[in-house]
Amino acid sequence: MPLFEYACRGCGHRFEYLTREGRTPSCPACAGRDLEKLHSAFAVNAQGGGREAGRPAAGPCGQCGDPRGPGACSMN
């Protein structure tokens, strides 16, 4: 069951939806079905130790809110 990210074209609400066979997503804020599937990034650590100790999580760059930080998106 894949997890997808959507944005509602009606109200602009962004949400995640765990896809299940035979079910289609609807916006949890307005129940709209005019949705845009978004591209989302995920991270996997093959060593299982989690994020490196003492290294803080990246914050948004301030321009578009990309969590990967400055220069990570095409807005910069």
User: What's the pLDDT at 76?
Assistant: 41
Name the more confident of 51 and 2: 2
Query: pLDDT (tens digit, 9 = 90+) per residue, 10-44?
Result: 999 999 998 888 888 999 999 999 999 998 776 66
Name the more confident of 35 and 73: 35
Q: Where are the domains of the chain?
A: 3-38
Closest CA to 62 of 72, 52, 53: 72
Q: Are 75 and 63 in contact (CB under 8 A)?
A: yes
User: What's the pLDDT at 49?
Assistant: 53
Supply the DSSP symbol for 49.
S
The residue type of 21 is: E
User: What's the pLDDT at 15?
Assistant: 93
